[in-house]
Amino acid sequence: MKTTYDHIVIGAGAIGSAAAYRLAAAGHADVLVLEQYELGHTHGASEDHSRIIRHAYHSTVYTALTPAAYAAWDEVEAETGLQLVFRVGGLDLAVAGTPGERELNTYEASLAPLAGTGVTWERLDAAEVRSRWPQWRIGDDVVGLFQPDGGILDVRRATAAHIALARARGVEFAPGTTVLGLTSTDTHVTVSTSRGEFTAGSVVLCAASWTPRLLPGLGVDWPITLSQEQVSYFATPNLRDFAPDRFPMWIWHGEPFFYGFPVYGEVAVKAARDLSGRFVTQQTRSDVPDPAETELVAAFLRDRLPGAAGPELVSKTCVYDLPPDREFVLDHVPGHPRVVAFIGAGHAAKFASLLGRILADLATTGATEYPIDAFRADRPALTDPAFIPSYRLTAPAP
């Protein structure tokens, strides 16, 4: 392996693999990807079968990007012949008169700019929800928002596809290589690793929850909080009722905030709550699931989706990397124009292929055509010590 490259990508998860592919696809094939574990490992945020993909969001900042995100996945599917996105529909539910209903209203409002583009949605009352999906046990006080293009992104398959496409274009991958530090000058970036030093004209930093370890060497201290999360698969005996052609991806806008999937990847339904509040460091995080968290989700299923409840098949942990406002960080590192960084805030997978393109743009030309100003590294959430963290993807207070 040589030691000098045009571009180095740190991290071979969903975002890093996409950046490597998009760099090479744009004609920049002299790329090295450094990964501390084996490719496809289960220690980061890109493992497991499924992630939510949708147009409906808490902010038009994201819906401005979702059409391009879907199009980016279409490109990868066309090139590989693999299906990565499964449009099983997306159903958001809340109890009327609660903050959750306000979130649904904001989700619907975020879709308005997409009217006339082929993106459709509809509001549903409880009777309509029960008629279409009798699996739900809800009262008449529940309201819904259905978006047909919502569904499942197979994140593990997507990451593997990006890696294969990048390799086909000459990108080198170096698994088992831990990055120890970064330094940059006006002409290059030096990456110190467990296998020696590498230099490049630019570095794309996609290290997820390991990013805070690398920032101090660049004189940057973004207030990134790590939260340990987990998902559980429940072996429902009612498989046909929860097959993807009969049951959608869903989000329950309550307190707690739950989400789940039809049967996919495992012979079981997948469900979890968003944001457990179990804040950790890389030293204190655990791969061991918390039985109390599993029971919290199981109790919700027994209450609202009783047919989905079944024995726990498997539970898995991961770590969210959370800026104080829980919005992406997608920018050059301040003071280091040759280093581009991304923080995903626990909801980036659906955008991964598009984010790879944007990161490649920033690394090679310094700018991008996509609207990402809201993700700047100099915004108050990252620079104002008085900023009050708010980690839920929610509507602003009225």
pLDDT digits (tens, 9 = 90+) for 277-335: 899 998 999 999 999 999 999 999 999 999 999 999 999 999 999 999 999 999 999 99
20-34, 39-53, 73-87, 91-105: range with lowest mean pLDDT: 39-53
Q: Of 231, 257, 223, 210, which is closest to residue 318 (Cα–Cα)?
A: 231
Average of per-residue pLDDT across 129-150: 98
Question: Three-class SS of residue 40?
Answer: coil
Q: If residue 211 lies in a helix (H) or strand (E), which one and from where to where?
A: helix 211-214
C-alpha span between 258 and 45 (Å, rounded): 18
Confidence of residue 398 (pLDDT cuts 50, 70, 90): very low
Residue 82, pLDDT score: 98
Dihedrals φ, ψ of 54, to 5°? -165, 160
- Residue 173 phi/psi, 5-degree rounding, is -115, 140
| pLDDT > 70 in the chain, percent | 99
CA nearest to 49, candidates 150, 154, 152:
154
Ramachandran angles phi, psi of 105, nearest 5°: -60, -40
Task: Please give the distance of CA 239 from its chain centroid, rounded to a whole number.
Answer: 27
pLDDT band at 393 (very low <50, low <70, confident <90, very high): confident
Identify the structural domains of the chain with CATH numbers, from first to last: 4-46+156-224+324-382 (3.50.50.60), 87-150+225-322 (3.30.9.10)
Can you tell me the mean pLDDT for 368-373? 98
Dihedral sign, CA of 272, 274, 278, 283?
positive
Residue 337's nearest CA partner among 364, 314, 373, 311 is 364
Contact between 189 and 339 (Cβ < 8 Å) = yes
Tens-digit pLDDT profile for residues 21-36: 999 999 999 999 999 9
Q: Can you tell me the distance from the alpha carbon of 193 to that of 196, in angstroms, rounded to the nearest whole number?
A: 5
Share the mean pLDDT of the chain: 96
Phi first, then psi, for residue 359 (nearest 5°) are -60, -40
Instruction: Give φ, ψ of 241 to 5 degrees.
Output: -65, -25
> Between the CA of residue 157 and those of 48, 146, 167, 193, 333, what are the distances in Å?
9, 26, 15, 28, 30
String of DSSP letters for 360-387: HHHHHTS--SS--GGG-TTSHHHH-TTP
Contact 257, 274 (CB under 8 A): yes
* Residue 293 CB-half CA count within 13 A: 23
> pLDDT tens digits for 174-195?
999 999 999 999 999 999 999 9
Here the tokens at position 328 are: 């992406």
pTM greater than 0.75: yes
Q: Which residue is listed with tokens 């571009």? A: 7
pLDDT band at 394 (very low <50, low <70, confident <90, very high): low
For residue 312, give every residue at least 6 positions away whose Cβ sits within 8 Å of its Cβ, in sequence order, or none. Answer: 232, 233, 234, 235, 294, 298
Reply yes or no on whether the pLDDT at 397 is more than 50.
no
